[in-house]
Structure 1
Amino acid sequence: MKSKKSFFKNGIIKQDFRQHGWISIVYFICLMFAIPLELMQLATRDYVVFEDYKNYLYVNTELQILFLFTIPVAAGLLLFRYLQNEASVDMIHSLPIRRVTLYVSHIISGLILLLLPIVLMSCVTFFVTQSIEEFHSILTPSELLSWTGIITLLTCMLFFATVAVGMMTGMSSAQAILTYIFFFLPIGMVAMVSYNLSFLLFGFSSIFIDEKLTYLSPFLRFVDIWNTKDPFSTLEIFIYIIIVICSFFIGLGLYKARQLESATDVIAFPFLKPVFKYGVTFCSMTLGGSYFSVTGTLNWGWIIFGYISGALIGYVVAEMILQKTWRIFHFRVFTGFIGYSIIFIIILFSIKTDLIDFEKKLPRMDQISEVYFGDKYQMQELLSDDIEVYSDSKLYIQDIRNLHEYIIGQQDLIEAQTDEKYRQDMVIAYRLNDGRTFIREYRLPVELMKDKLTPVMEADSYKKILPEYTQLQENILSIKIVPNGPVATQVMLTDQKEIEEFSNAIEKDLLSQTLDDLVQSTSPWGYIEISSKATFEEHLYEGYPIEWKKSFDETTKWLDEHGYLDDARINIEDLLKAEITKVNLPKDLEYYNPDELFNSGEQFSTITDKKLLLNALEQFTEYSEDHTYFIKFTLKDGNEWYGSIPAEAIPTDIKNKLK
């Protein structure tokens, strides 16, 4: 016996094809431009590194993003456009067709319209790739199947999410806006909340939150795809599948419960209106607090003003959108804002008074197995390259814990320091015996904490994870030494024996640095640029330039012994003279320009004595807002070099002359 119930109607699907079939044609043409035609263009170019396109996601990524995140959304908007119009929604639902049938029929239409172009384009791409010999071993059929699966999944996710959002609103424009908000809201919320906690809670660190932020948005994951070794993990694909399934059933449930009269309403369901209103209020409030925390340099008066003004603006805008009028200014409307404000004040008070004792927590020595101290971005980079950053040295752990204990005790003093010139962001991360990680991040005034920082920052465990040191452990192919200053000479080392000897000299100097060497402002003799072949790359990798500091005796000695010193840096023989002047820097200095500052001096003293010139060259720095004595070196080739030197490097007779 034939069932009287059907989950879809062929007539509805055919009507969708007649009315919206152009979506499929446009999607196919767009994908053709993005993939096959781009591959054909790459094959005709003269200089192309084909290994860079080891995945179809790397081919014309920008166009793929554009088409992927617009056309499926447009399909979801158009296929259910009738729900947002009072006349059409009444007419469609007057037909003897169940809502489930209507919903499933339009879903099937959308899937066919969107997935057919992907399948056809994949077939075309297969033949195009097979016709280009350079891509045979790179863009394999399995890679094509993987790309097809990912694009199909993302297309379905965007389409189903758009449909589900469309059931919550009665306006097509609101549906489009809310759909994109849906994909960006998680990352925006997490970023804003973590940023606000960073200045509300002393020591709060978002290090592991920051590195996972892009995973909260498929759009940003696609944008950042070049920076990842594995474009999409199995877990991500599983989560996207769950989102597709949930979006389908959420959309179906909301469609069955939706009132026809909700067409043209911004929010179709009354229970969602408070969620929308207070969600907008909260987002606007955190944005306001974040803005004034930056512009006001953590002035709490301005931060509170930012919270209040942001919340008020968000609440008012949300009410205007919901009521579709600007005439909302009466007391009854703002009773909700008063309640929200009371709750927020309680939460803010709890955070600022540290009721959970977050700021004072410190693991015991017997709980700690390993520790890390250093820059958080450096930590993220090393961890992404699978480099161990933690040290299990008991002495190092004890020194860091002593430092941490001192930081907690000096919280008021540290937070009172506002001069950014003398502060460094540092992360303290403990790996505990039970496997948990305990992390705190502080902006430390280095000059005021030298005694406590010295045993930590002068330890080998700290220096061996600096980027200058870690790249010396790579497979080095060549080393280039570029002088600091207006000269065109340089030194290139390609002999493996010389590279090994020179690398050992640099390592010794890096490990022998004192705290003053690590934080000094004196300009280096030059920069050491290392080219290596990373284990996961097939082409040359340019590393982080190493400063050839004036305290690097082993490096300087090796270059001198091998006859490279004259070309590796500016020497005393290159200088003709130096002129010194005294300038008192204005407090409101907007930018630092050493040549303009030097020329603003009123009295000048000239140095030609080689001993004094050498002393000035060793103490010279190009940029330092601490100095008042500015210098201009004139080289024998006519070039000029501007900078400054500390007062203690100036001979007494010159100081007296420049008073």
Structure 2
Amino acid sequence: MPSKTLSFNRGIFVQNMRNVGWIGLVHLLVLCFALPLQILMVYTNERRPYYETYWKNVFSISQEFQVLIMFTIPVLLAIFIFRYLHVKLSADYIHSLPFRRPSLFYYHLCFSLLVLFLPIVITAAILLFLQSALDLDYFLSVYKIARWIGTTFLIELLVFFASVFIGMVTGMSVLQGVLFYIMLIFPAGITVLVVMNVKYFLYGFSAEYYLNQNIERIVPLFRAFELAHRPLTWTEIAAYLVLIVVFFALSLWGYKKRNIEAAGQAIAFRSLRPIFKYGAAFCFMLVGGLYFGETQNHFAWVLFGYTTASALGYFVAEMILEKTWRVFHKWKGYLYFVISMLVIGIFLKIDMIGYEKRLPSLAEIERIYFSEEIYYLAEEKMVVTYNERSGYAFPKPFFATKENMKNIYLLHQQIIKDKELVKETTFNSRPVVFGYELKDGSKMVRSYVIPFEKYKSFYKPIIESKEYKQIHYPLLKKQDVSGLDKITIQPHSGWTATTYITNKEQMKEFVAILRSELESETAEQIFDERYPWGDIELVWDNNERMNVTWKKSYARLDEWLKENGFAKARETADDFTHAVIIKNTEGNRYGEINFEQAAQHQDALRIHNSQQLEECLQQVGSNDEIPEYIIGFYYKGTSNIKIEPIDKQYAPEFIRKHFAK
């Protein structure tokens, strides 16, 4: 008799059917809508060929809807199956029945597993019928359907047991749902918050590097969106199974230990209330510091964000726990939190572990990543990123020659020495990333935003090196250009037509001159801030492509184009009637200047000479928001004006003389 009672109880089964049976029916209906019905709808209309190409497996069908089902149905089930725990009268009644708590827990779990599993199996059976009846083997094979059953059930089990665990921790059903979804994104969310805040304390800390490590994949919700093209690995399956067992054990333990009086309480266990309270204060603090740090870019504002947001989080958590707003007399608990955070903050700020000055020795370094961008560094040991669709190859900026590694190392050492100067300077700043790959396989990454002008002398030997140019100009490493199909020159001006070079002999000469220009390019030419003439694209027979910026310093290339009948590859003085030059005496930003009004001023310089027009075309362009001069080129045969800035250092002599009067 005891065995029979343990294995099945009709009263509890009927009660569960009344309480949560509808969830099983909804589960089945939404799965049928998401999968079989969608297949039939597509099969009977004209869009079928498109979906035959797009659908690769079961997860490809209504992918977003499937993910929504996985992360809502199990949560609702967990909330309603243990709803009685959160209502005092129901909790008293259920626990007055002649059942041990573990037995009740197992009854509810077994019924819940049926609610989750049966709709999945029934839907899979319908899919198998459609597969045989409609000949849909290309995406509805038996193997793919079986994999869909296993993966869907595994994720729904994980979501269910995690939600059950939250239900044991809290005494409120609404809070159970809220806390579950917070917990779902918590691993990635807290990682982002911590990493983004650490950079305010440690000079050189590269938050972007750590945030490029695909941390979103540790969140099952985000990982589920990738199932259509990347199935779960065995490691992920094992991790999910371990989590299911852990949540099951914790839920059972919590069910045994929680008091009936916990119904209606925000946190069922008194020992967990400080974790909830201080955890809320900590998370609010990180969000506040991040907001003010990113919007104000000043450490005093970061501290303001920490203080105000942490206080808000602490007292809001207290209000939730106490169910009243009269909690401000409990300020001592917040004071303890502030003192703890101050200790941690001071520990980071004074860099007791020597993070900011730490550098590996040159003898330990295998190669160095040196760039303004961080994202290439995240991919392990790859030298080239190749996009098969576009045909473009993107070499990664890793340096391995002794001379370059030494020069990069010296630059990094100087940036560390200039810590205060670098942190305070914002004018003409550029990012720089150092990634050291050591011979033992480990990595060390640092990133900074530096005043570029101060360090140009350190950059010069690096960027004039053969290794640098071969990394940034793949054409220099391309030995065989016999398969070159065409060269396209796309000018940056919208009024000049695209030029194509297809003659084999001309392409050979063009590439030879272009290579010579790239090989002889000086640091000053690379740093040149004048606007380029345009872009050069080289296309091979196999669709391999390379892009080179057509800079104004490439004089020999410009001459070759003129000599070979391609003078119209860029704008020339012949395209304009005249030009008007004004001086930005009021120091306005480039976009705020009313050029046409200023051009009417008597101090404006008007030029009609072709040689002077050509000289101005050669010199226009500036990255300075407040340029020294503005020039307007007036096109022939139209009222359009080409308005460009001219930097003081590139302004022709006749312009400087005119405005010096």
TM-score by length of 1: 0.86
CA distance in 1, matches of 2:473, 2:282: 40
Task: Tell me if 1:593 matches 2:572.
Answer: no
Counterpart of 1:452, as a letter, is F
User: Which residue of 53, 56, 80 corresponds with 1:54?
Assistant: 56
Look up the SS of the partner of 1:337 in the other structure: helix
The alignment of Structure 1 onto Structure 2 pairs a total of residues equal to: 641
Counterpart of 1:70, as a letter, is T
Map 1:214-225 → 2, pairs under 5 A: 214-223=216-225
Task: Tell me if 1:453 matches 2:459.
Answer: yes
Q: Sort the Cα spacing of 1:172 and 1:612 in 2 relative to 1 into closer, same or farther, 3 A.
A: same
Question: By how many angstroms is 1:570 displaced?
Answer: 2.8
Say if 1:632 and 1:642, in contact at 8 Å, map to a contact too.
Answer: yes
Q: Deviations over 1:619-659 (max 9, x none)?
A: 22276414121122222352432221123444455445556
Q: Sort the Cα spacing of 1:223 and 1:434 in 2 relative to 1 into closer, same or farther, 3 A.
A: same
Map 1:264-303 → 2, pairs under 5 A: 264-297=264-297, 299-303=298-302
Look up the SS of the partner of 1:444 in the other structure: strand
Question: By how many angstroms is 1:470 displaced?
Answer: 11
Question: By how many angstroms is 1:183 displaced?
Answer: 1.1
Look up the SS of the partner of 2:535 in the other structure: strand
CA distance in 2, matches of 1:6, 1:533: 74
User: Which residue of 328, 349, 352 corresponds with 2:349?
Assistant: 352
Q: Sort the Cα spacing of 1:319 and 1:435 in 2 relative to 1 into closer, same or farther, 3 A.
A: same
Show the counterpart of 1:323.
322
Task: Tell me if 1:30 matches 2:27.
Answer: no
Q: Which piece of structure 1 moves more, 492-501 or 83-92?
A: 492-501
Q: Sort the Cα spacing of 1:202 and 1:633 in 2 relative to 1 into closer, same or farther, 3 A.
A: same
CA distance in 2, matches of 1:161, 1:107: 13
Show the counterpart of 1:640.
641
Look up the SS of the partner of 1:199 in the other structure: coil
Counterpart of 1:161, as a letter, is A
Task: Tell me if 1:367 matches 2:368.
Answer: no
Task: Tell me if 1:527 matches 2:535.
Answer: yes
Q: Sort the Cα spacing of 1:623 and 1:411 in 2 relative to 1 into closer, same or farther, 3 A.
A: closer
Q: Sort the Cα spacing of 1:521 and 1:70 in 2 relative to 1 into closer, same or farther, 3 A.
A: farther
Question: By how many angstroms is 1:258 displaced?
Answer: 0.9
Question: By how many angstroms is 1:340 displaced?
Answer: 1.6
Show the counterpart of 1:72.
74
Map 1:433-452 → 2, pairs under 5 A: 433-452=439-458
Question: By how many angstroms is 1:342 displaced?
Answer: 1.4
Look up the SS of the partner of 2:494 in the other structure: coil
Say if 1:276 and 1:318, in contact at 8 Å, map to a contact too.
Answer: yes
Look up the SS of the partner of 1:200 in the other structure: coil
Task: Tell me if 1:424 matches 2:430.
Answer: yes
Q: Deviations over 1:60-89 (max 9, x none)?
A: 333233332222212211211111111111
Say if 2:67 and 2:224, in contact at 8 Å, map to a contact too.
Answer: yes
Look up the SS of the partner of 1:426 in the other structure: strand
Q: Which piece of structure 1 moves more, 213-222 or 315-324?
A: 213-222
Q: Sort the Cα spacing of 1:496 and 1:287 in 2 relative to 1 into closer, same or farther, 3 A.
A: farther
Q: Which piece of structure 1 moves more, 352-361 or 203-212?
A: 203-212
Q: Which piece of structure 1 moves more, 246-255 or 603-612?
A: 603-612
Q: Sort the Cα spacing of 1:594 and 1:645 in 2 relative to 1 into closer, same or farther, 3 A.
A: farther
Show the counterpart of 2:604.
604
Q: Sort the Cα spacing of 1:68 and 1:129 in 2 relative to 1 into closer, same or farther, 3 A.
A: same
Show the counterpart of 1:116.
118
Q: Sort the Cα spacing of 1:652 and 1:622 in 2 relative to 1 into closer, same or farther, 3 A.
A: closer
What is the Cα-based RMSD across aligned positions, in Å?
3.6
Show the counterpart of 1:342.
339
Say if 1:7 and 1:100, in contact at 8 Å, map to a contact too.
Answer: no
Say if 1:485 and 1:570, in contact at 8 Å, map to a contact too.
Answer: yes
Show the counterpart of 2:161.
160
Show the counterpart of 2:191.
190
Q: Sort the Cα spacing of 1:257 and 1:545 in 2 relative to 1 into closer, same or farther, 3 A.
A: farther
Question: By how many angstroms is 1:560 displaced?
Answer: 5.7
Q: Which piece of structure 1 moves more, 8-17 or 82-91?
A: 8-17
Say if 2:127 and 2:140, in contact at 8 Å, map to a contact too.
Answer: no
CA distance in 2, matches of 1:375, 1:514: 19
Say if 1:471 and 1:544, in contact at 8 Å, map to a contact too.
Answer: no
Q: Sort the Cα spacing of 1:508 and 1:149 in 2 relative to 1 into closer, same or farther, 3 A.
A: farther
Q: Deviations over 1:355-392 (max 9, x none)?
A: 11111111111111221111343424765977366433
Show the counterpart of 2:94.
92
Question: By how many angstroms is 1:499 displaced?
Answer: 8.2
Question: By how many angstroms is 1:95 displaced?
Answer: 1.2
User: Which residue of 551, 554, 578 corresponds with 2:553?
Assistant: 551
Question: By how many angstroms is 1:522 displaced?
Answer: 2.0
CA distance in 1, matches of 2:541, 2:316: 55
Show the counterpart of 2:630.
630
Show the counterpart of 1:407.
415
Q: Sort the Cα spacing of 1:130 and 1:3 in 2 relative to 1 into closer, same or farther, 3 A.
A: closer
Counterpart of 1:12, as a letter, is I
Counterpart of 1:48, as a letter, is Y
Question: By how many angstroms is 1:553 displaced?
Answer: 5.5
Q: Sort the Cα spacing of 1:464 and 1:194 in 2 relative to 1 into closer, same or farther, 3 A.
A: farther
Q: Percent identity?
A: 32
Show the counterpart of 2:234.
234
Q: Sort the Cα spacing of 1:494 and 1:145 in 2 relative to 1 into closer, same or farther, 3 A.
A: farther
User: Which residue of 405, 408, 412 corresponds with 1:397?
Assistant: 405
Look up the SS of the partner of 1:161 in the other structure: helix
Say if 1:585 and 1:628, in contact at 8 Å, map to a contact too.
Answer: no
Instruction: Say which one has the larger Rg.
Output: 2
User: Which residue of 101, 104, 108 corresponds with 1:102?
Assistant: 104
Say if 2:487 and 2:502, in contact at 8 Å, map to a contact too.
Answer: yes
CA distance in 1, matches of 2:344, 2:125: 57
Question: By how many angstroms is 1:130 displaced?
Answer: 6.3
Look up the SS of the partner of 1:355 in the other structure: coil
Say if 1:594 and 1:622, in contact at 8 Å, map to a contact too.
Answer: no
Question: By how many angstroms is 1:586 displaced?
Answer: 4.6
Question: By how many angstroms is 1:582 displaced?
Answer: 1.8
Q: Sort the Cα spacing of 1:9 and 1:289 in 2 relative to 1 into closer, same or farther, 3 A.
A: same
Instruction: Give 5+ residue unaligned stretches, structure 1.
Output: 535-539
Q: Deviations over 1:431-460 (max 9, x none)?
A: 112221111111122111101122233334
CA distance in 1, matches of 2:476, 2:77: 50
Question: By how many angstroms is 1:270 displaced?
Answer: 0.7
